[in-house]
Structure 1
């Protein structure tokens, strides 16, 4: 029995999904409004991720169209050789099998991440948070309609309405085949999944991203990058949390005053380390543990370091391994920083907000991995595959 869908079937389902989402915009928005009205928490990043508007729907549609246009990631030959005994040996990409995506508050994951996993030939299990249940059920219903239109079983996309106890039991002893788990959410969710899972987990980890303003930085560029990275979307894992300033930065005090003024316009609360204590408009952070925090809020730390090597050491000690940037006109300093900072994405003179599968040309992302196996950074279509060896002989024995 052939358990795989061919590329024509997969693409046809994706195209049908774009039509169904477009036709059901108001239904999706109404379901999301119910979720938003029911959300009583005070986590502003959670609310931001939960909200679906026409812009987010446009993003879902773009992601599906791009996925449908991408070549098949399966069956790509990565290696081939002929054994001295005449056997041909090749290695080709293959689907994982069944992938569980467990996530909080983001209905767009139900489309974009599931779409990447589906295009890669995998069956999808979705476990969304209770705060986005109505939105997710509408979107999964559209997946089922798209699958049925092309005579595909609806269990290619399954939504698990589990509470925490049921989820833990499923992770520890899955009631069906499960090959890979991708948690999308905060540190508590990731820790919960890693503690209980019995199959491989791709950790879409925390941000806690840094920008280092080196002595030879263009100060206007530094201001522009910091404001963009911090203030455009505080709920994003690629948003900025920490700024490090070179001790010998020219016009340092002027720059710091301008930076504080700009951040205050965006209602950002600013903490400093003890070296910048007393900077007007800021508060000294209470203890060193703040360096570890990912804020996902209008909150930021500004600290000072003597040089690029101290910046690298501090980032490697405290960051989440996600993204870090250096602002400098000195290419040698930038190369030192980029080669030695231990993050999935490193930047020279650009905002950390670009760490994103769509921005990196991957046509969307399943997650942004801060693990080093099997893929680091944005995980796109071409990364959501495993491999398989094909050996052809005519009776060879060893």
Structure 2
């Protein structure tokens, strides 16, 4: 049965695992060989970039360590099992029909992203190993870097006798992108926008196929009344300052009003965050305890993802209010509870509507590599298909194979 299924091609070309792995092996060597060209291309992007957006600039930078990470990501995907053609279920019905459900390629995936040239590697390597064609629409700020990296892909594909059409780079402007989304010149099966809310809204408005939303953070921490303060403080500092450009960075802190020594602990947190140059915004109930915090001017700020050294602090009256506030304002990405009570943590983790929920740990772990998934296409905040890190195993759909012997439905 397995051999029969493997020989049943769909309308798109199915590559063998061996062929795909050979391309990835070539790709690792090609990236390393072209390291200097990649770095030169990235420098051209950096020189042209106006650094008014520090988070976007940070995402744009490619150095030797980042090139090493790209090579490592390709190697990790090469070592992972091929996700295509795996049997999900198999049953024989009373009428003799044999029904087999197997994983299958999506087809063509378009990823639209801002900055981050490493997406050009990590997205394409996953889609290729999952036997999907990928269309890369990077931002104009990374045009030189992306061209250099796609040239590496094309060299690796040609070395193994494959068409360069497997991986295409689009250099469309906003109007051209809009026109393509509304009337694509080739079949699209899935679009993944990776970027801010404006980009996601733009894609959802104009796309004619499925859109998998990812990337928006606005992550919350709830400090319960029984939290280990030193531990909680360490977690919040890491979540906020470790990488401000990450979609898994912390933006909002809810402190229980019954936290013992509330005033001194809020002042302690303010002092530590100030040392890390984090700007604090505070609600009316918190503001009297702090000296440098600015007043939250509008409720809308609770919806905002900062991608900056900035955080909001507010007081809540117990676990239920914290859960309600998180579910109302967060981006559905990552939330953490800091508490010594496992039952309280369990309730928080069950009821908070986020892709990843944490107990006494930093939100910065919402990442494919950190969670053991490996390289990821995105962090999905959608509920259909898959939620959280979208790795190789999740980058397939499914297909039913039904084998009969002349059966008809009566």
Q: State the TM-score, normalizing by the size of structure 2.
A: 0.96
CA distance in 1, matches of 2:339, 2:63: 38
Q: SS at the partner of 2:285?
A: helix
Runs (4+) of structure 1 exceeding 4 A deviation are none
Whether 1:230 and 2:246 are equivalent positions in the alignment is: no
Whether 1:269 and 2:279 are equivalent positions in the alignment is: yes
CA distance in 2, matches of 1:128, 1:55: 21
Asked whether the equivalents of residues 125 and 159 of structure 1 are also in contact (C-alpha less than 8 Å), the reply is yes
Deviations 1:145-199 (A, max 9, x none): 0000110111000111111111111100100111110011111111110000000
| 2:300 aligns with one of 274, 277, 289 | 289
What's the CA shift for 1:41? 4.4
Deviations 1:295-343 (A, max 9, x none): 0001100111010110000000100000000001100110111010000
What's the CA shift for 1:65? 0.6
Whether 1:339 and 2:350 are equivalent positions in the alignment is: yes
Written as runs of structure 1 = structure 2, the 5 A alignment for 1:338-357 is 338-357=349-368
Say which is worse superposed, 203-212 or 1-10, in terms of deviation.
1-10
Q: Which runs of 5+ in 2 are unaligned?
A: 1-10
Whether 1:378 and 2:381 are equivalent positions in the alignment is: no
CA distance in 2, matches of 1:220, 1:233: 21
CA distance in 1, matches of 2:248, 2:350: 20
What's the CA shift for 1:2? 6.5
Deviations 1:342-363 (A, max 9, x none): 0000000000000001111111
Residue matched to 1:94: 104
| 1:198 aligns with one of 208, 216, 220 | 208
Whether 1:184 and 2:194 are equivalent positions in the alignment is: yes
Residue matched to 1:368: 379
Q: SS at the partner of 1:68?
A: helix
Residue matched to 1:392: 403
What's the CA shift for 1:205? 3.9
Whether 1:156 and 2:169 are equivalent positions in the alignment is: no
Asked whether the equivalents of residues 77 and 90 of structure 1 are also in contact (C-alpha less than 8 Å), the reply is yes
Query: Taking structure 1 as reference, are residues 122 and 2 closer, same or farther at Cα in structure 2, changes over 3 Å only?
Result: closer
Q: SS at the partner of 1:274?
A: coil
Written as runs of structure 1 = structure 2, the 5 A alignment for 1:224-263 is 224-263=234-273
Asked whether the equivalents of residues 205 and 320 of structure 1 are also in contact (C-alpha less than 8 Å), the reply is no
CA distance in 2, matches of 1:133, 1:185: 16
Q: State the TM-score, normalizing by the size of structure 1.
A: 0.99
Written as runs of structure 1 = structure 2, the 5 A alignment for 1:47-58 is 47-58=57-68
Asked whether the equivalents of residues 12 and 107 of structure 2 are also in contact (C-alpha less than 8 Å), the reply is no
Alpha-carbon RMSD across the aligned residues, in angstroms, is 1.0
What's the CA shift for 1:79? 1.1
Say which is worse superposed, 54-63 or 154-163, in terms of deviation.
54-63
Residue matched to 1:4: 14
Whether 1:72 and 2:82 are equivalent positions in the alignment is: yes
CA distance in 1, matches of 2:177, 2:171: 9
Q: SS at the partner of 2:19?
A: helix
CA distance in 1, matches of 2:12, 2:373: 29
What's the CA shift for 1:206? 1.1
Query: Taking structure 1 as reference, are residues 2 and 343 closer, same or farther at Cα in structure 2, changes over 3 Å only?
Result: closer
Residue matched to 1:136: 146
Deviations 1:218-251 (A, max 9, x none): 1011110000000011000000000111111112
Q: SS at the partner of 1:368?
A: strand
Whether 1:325 and 2:312 are equivalent positions in the alignment is: no
